[in-house]
Structure 1
Amino acid sequence: MRGKWTGPDGAEYNWKDMLLLLHVRERVEVFASYEDDELKADVIIINGQRFVGGSAMSYKLRMWVSLTPFVLWLITGITGTILLVAPLAAQFGLTLPVSLTDTLHTYLGFAFFGLSFVHIALNWSTMKAYFRKLSS
Structure 2
Amino acid sequence: MTGPKDIHEYLGAFDDIPGTRVYTAARARQGYHLNQFAMSLMKAENRARWLADERAYLDEWPMSQEQKDAVLARDYNRLLDLGGNIYFLSKVFSTDGLSFVQAVSTMTGMNVDEYKAMMDAGGRSPKGVRSIKESY
Same fold (TM over 0.5): no
Q: Bigger radius of gyration, 1 or 2?
A: 1
Q: Bigger relative contact order, structure 1 or 2, given CA contacts below 8 A and separation 6+?
A: 2
Q: TM-score, normalised by structure 1?
A: 0.31
More strand by share: 1
